[in-house]
Amino acid sequence: MAEHESLEFGKADFVLLDNVSLEEFMANLKLRFEKGRIYTYIGEVVVSVNPYRAMNIYGRDTIEQYKGRELYERPPHLFAIADAAYKAMKRRNKDTCIVISGESGAGKTEASKYIMQYIAAITNPSQRAEVERVKNMLLKSNCVLEAFGNAKTNRNDNSSRFGKYMDINFDFKGDPIGGHINNYLLEKSRVIFQQEGERSFHSFYQLVKGAPDAQLRSLHIQRDPTAYTYIKVGGQIKVLYHVQIKRDYYGWQGSRDLWHLGKIKPFDGDVTLIENSKLVSILGDLLSTKDENVEKALLYRTVATGRDVIDKQHTHQEASYGRDALAKAIYERLFCWIVGRINDIIEVKNYDVRVHGKNTVIGVLDIYGFEIFQNNSFEQFCINYCNEKLQQLFIQLVLKQEQEEYQREGIPWKHIDYFNNQIIVDLVEQQHKGIFAVLDEACMNVGKVTDEMFLQALNGKLAKHAHYTSRKLSPTDKNLEFDRDFRIRHYAGDVAYSVVGFIDKNKDTLFQDFKRLLYNSSNPVLKAMWPEGKLSITEVTKRPLTAATLFKNSMISLVENLASKEPYYVRCIKPNEVKSPLLFEHERCKHQVEYLGLLENVRVRRAGFANRQIYPRFLQRYKMISEFTWPNHDLPSDKEAVKRLLQGCGFEHDVAYGKTKVFIRTPRTIFSLEEQRAEMVKRIVLFLQKVWRGTLARMHYRRMRAALIIIRAYRRYKVKSYIREVNRRFRNVRGMKDHGKHVKWPTPPKVLRKFEEIFIQIYFRWWAWTLIKDLSPEQLVQIRAKVATLECLKGQRADLGLQRAWEGNYLVSKKDSPGTASSFTLISSDLQRKDKFMRVLFSCNVRKINRFNKAEDRALLITDRHLYKMDPVKQYKPMKSIPLYNVTGVSISPGKDQLVVFHTKDNRDLIVCLQGMVPAGDSRIGELVGTLLSHFKRFKPVRCLKSLSTLLFKSMLSVRFKKIFLKVSYAHQGCMYLLHLSKYSKDSNIMKYYCK
């Protein structure tokens, strides 16, 4: 059952018809043709209807769809039958053949090309040069044979006018290693005569239209084909298309003389002469022989009578006959020579069965189809006899195959009545009584024997035969002419033959003079074509076999060859006479169906069981229907599994079980199985989609998880490597002079860039701590003030006084107040007892600017509670006391001056200019600002910083970086002072100032 073929396209297999009748057969055939389905099965036979249009069903994609598949698994196609033949040959090591039959124009030659194309495409996957060469030669030989063996007829523009059987040899691996071509009955009479509207062989027109001018001149040929008698007889001169071929030089050379031979016309008189003697010279040149020898062979016949040899001159009729016989013989020998050359190239060489194994063969038979013309002569009689033989073989082999298969499988066989055309075959080929025997006897009789005498002999011997008649035997049949026609009731229909020319064509007489002429040619190709010409005139030769006998023997040999192989069939049908892709002529197609015996084939196939499949294949296709067989069965054998499946479906009464196959009687069972299978396939597809999507998701998850693990491992490796490198570089920083300041930090991975910043901050905190850890509390207070100044005024003033030690209480110093220091000490002590301040923050001589713009010397004392303005002249008597909490701000200028403005809540600002610096260039603005900022910021005690900084630096060296974050977070809570200090710790100069 072909897959993917719905009923809208009809039944893909005629065996599956509900009722086997000619009407249903034709209706199904027409429906499929109209739907573009040109192929249909009859079991293992392919019925092909010529579509008369190009179809995109032969490409590489289509080849892949049929490669290795069973017939019923894909829609009907030529590729399926080709693949079946190839598999049978390769699997069972058995020779097979594909027989292509049908009338002229039904598409037999195209079918053989596609079969060759498929076989060439599925073999040789490794593209070995020798096998490729053989395949190419097998394919390209078709073009050459078509050029020399095909012609335009009234029924087909590219009609094969010869029969061809090609054997393709394969080695034990299934690769083509060579081949051989046999040709049958070339219609050589077409060389000299064509029916109205037809043409001679393609090669003549291709030479005229395609050869270069220089070559035509060398052959003395004109470009105009109407100048030549032989090829204008049919009146169809226009070249409809060109068959592209690779022309062989000697092949063209062999036929070059035919152009001029037809123009030679002997004129009738007392002595027969040649009208145009120049043509004789041209023929002598082309045949590579002497002119006088050519003229003698055309006009005389050498006869040996005993010991005497005489030259007998031809009559006009004899000369014309000899000329035409020579033309036909030259072309036939040329064609056989071309086939021989192809065989020399493609045949298997140096093949030893013991070394290379047994080679097997696939045969492809493309032979002329049954023909019924207006005027049917000897050629049509032989062609139709050939089709009778092949039809008889077809029926016998089909019945034989069916019977043998039933016997092998142990199934009872039911006899089928069918038309046995053996009676017609015997009518033609039977010894002493057959038409060929009567024709040969007429040709061997001494004296003048005419075609009419041959017809009389037929009437005498075959008068009582049911399939033979003539006008003499049926006087009332006016479709037959007296003394000219006889009719045979073929299996394909009644055909009337004209006996005119039967005797001459059967004798196929070519005077020995022509054979000697061509054998003595200096052209080696022509010489090789005529080996019998070496006989001398007096040598007695055996009478050559007639054309009928030769053809009969070749047909018998062909049938025996086909019968020894496993046959596959392609039956071609021509849908109409006008080559239309849309027209289906019912009567014409019906006639072809009848004479091809297609309905009998269906009946034979349907006689017992319509369908049969081996158990594994049947299970593979239908096992999803039953729960006992899906997805796999646990029964003893596939046969038992098939039984269980069919019993579950209720079909056990419509089937039989063979040894290796299940046989199904009616098509309805197949349809029902297919419907159930189609329904289950949808569910299975959904299930598979679900499973597959889950599989894809899991695969994606595993890939992501694996990638994440790799990334984590890589990050961990990079982090550990970084921590180890930091540990290695900073391991001995305590013993270094600069405590590791010169050590270069390693480049961190991206994930640790933020972490590196924290590391560096921790390091510089530790580094700062190592510098300040031994300082006294007073020095630490001073450092706090300097840091506060730097935070507030860095970049605002050029000189902040960081380079010197800050004394704070300058009025106590003897440098600033050498004579009054003791007075200030007494006053400050009194103020301390009175105002209860803890310590003096800053004191200095200043110059005050009053509201009258007068400058006066004053002293400034700032304690942790008050700001005092004093008069140094009056023993530092306090003039003004401002609570420190009333001071809202301090303003200074960016210049070098020492001007300071103290802003108060009552807007009574105090403006002073610091003075009395020793040395005079010092600046105390920075010290004043820093002292006030340090006091107001109220830093926590320094006593905890030593142990904390040590803890931080040790944690930096820890390999377990997770703990570092915890330690850093903990340290950050109690290290505000150290953080401020570390901002400027990278500047070694500033740190020197801090540590003074």
Chunk the chain into consecutive blocks of 10 residues (it has 996) and report each block's average pLDDT, rounded to whole numbers. Answer: 67 85 93 93 89 91 87 86 88 85 84 87 67 71 85 82 86 83 86 85 84 84 81 58 36 54 62 76 87 87 77 84 87 90 84 67 83 85 88 76 76 69 88 90 82 91 91 90 91 88 84 87 89 77 82 89 87 90 92 83 74 81 81 80 82 81 77 81 89 94 94 90 90 85 88 87 87 80 84 83 84 76 86 87 86 84 90 87 89 87 89 82 85 75 34 33 32 32 39 35
Burial class (CB in 10 A: 0-12, 13-18, 19+), 792: middle
Active-site position among 369, 434, 808, 916: 369
Q: How many CA atoms lie within 13 A of 413 on its CB side?
A: 17
265 Cβ partners below 8 Å, 6+ apart?
A: 274, 275, 276
- What one-letter code names the amino acid at 611? N
Active-site position among 48, 96, 101, 104: 104
Task: Please report, for the chain, the start and end positions of each structural domain, with discontinuous segments joined by +.
Answer: 389-499, 612-680, 733-773, 777-965
- How far from 5 is each of 40, 76, 122, 694, CA to CA, in Å? 11, 9, 24, 32
Binding positions for ATP: 102-109
Phi and psi at 124, nearest 5°, equal 60, 65
| Helical residues (DSSP H) of 211-367, grouped into ranges | 213-218, 249-261, 277-286, 291-299, 316-346, 353-356
The predicted structure's pLDDT at residue 354: 62
Active-site position among 96, 109, 546, 629: 109
Phi and psi at 857, nearest 5°, equal -80, 130
- What one-letter code names the amino acid at 582? L
Q: Residue 855 and residue 837: Cα distance in Å, rounded?
A: 30
Catalytic residue flag (residue 109): yes
Among 72, 26, 68, 33, residue whose Cα is nearest residue 50: 33
Classify 612-680 by CATH class: alpha beta
The predicted structure's pLDDT at residue 435: 93
The predicted structure's pLDDT at residue 947: 33
Task: Give 490's strand partners.
Answer: 493
The predicted structure's pLDDT at residue 966: 32
The CB density around residue 883, as the number of other CB atoms within 10 Å, is: 12
Question: The domain 389-499 is classified under which CATH number: 1.20.58.530, 3.20.20.10, 3.40.50.720, 3.90.1300.10?
Answer: 1.20.58.530
Q: Residue 861 and residue 871: Cα distance in Å, rounded?
A: 11
| Helical residues (DSSP H) of 410-519, grouped into ranges | 422-429, 435-444, 451-461, 502-507, 512-519
pTM: 0.62
Catalytic residue flag (residue 156): yes
Q: Which H or E run contains 933?
A: helix 925-937
CATH number of the 777-965 domain? 2.30.29.30
Binding positions: 102-109
**Token output for 790:** 């730097």
Among 429, 425, 447, 450, residue whose Cα is nearest residue 438: 429
Going by the DSSP 8-state scheme, the letter that residue 377 receives in this structure is: -
Phi and psi at 556, nearest 5°, equal -60, -40
Active-site position among 159, 498, 506, 828: 159
Q: Are 177 and 170 in contact (CB under 8 A)?
A: yes
Q: Residue 213 and residue 221: Cα distance in Å, rounded?
A: 9
Catalytic residue flag (residue 160): yes
Q: Is the peptide bond before 941 cis (omega within 30 degrees of 0)?
A: no
Catalytic residue flag (residue 159): yes
| CA 114 to chain CA centroid, nearest Å | 19
Catalytic residue flag (residue 369): yes
The predicted structure's pLDDT at residue 893: 86
Active-site position among 5, 198, 295, 371: 371
Find the Cα–Cα–Cα–Cα dihedral 580, 4, 614, 17, rounded to 10°: -60
**Token output for 43:** 């079991």
**Token output for 109:** 């030659």
Antiparallel, parallel or unpaired: β 611-614 and 661-664:
antiparallel
826 Cβ partners below 8 Å, 6+ apart?
A: none
Among 869, 867, 885, residue whose Cα is nearest residue 877: 869
Q: Which H or E run contains 167?
A: strand 163-170
Q: Residue 604 and residue 609: Cα distance in Å, rounded?
A: 9
The CB density around residue 755, as the number of other CB atoms within 10 Å, is: 18
Catalytic residue flag (residue 371): yes
Among 150, 11, 121, 135, residue whose Cα is nearest residue 63: 121
Degrees to nearest 5, angle at CA 383 with 378 and 384: 100
**Token output for 48:** 């092909």
Question: Do the first three CATH levels of 612-680 and 777-965 match, i.e. the same topology?
Answer: no
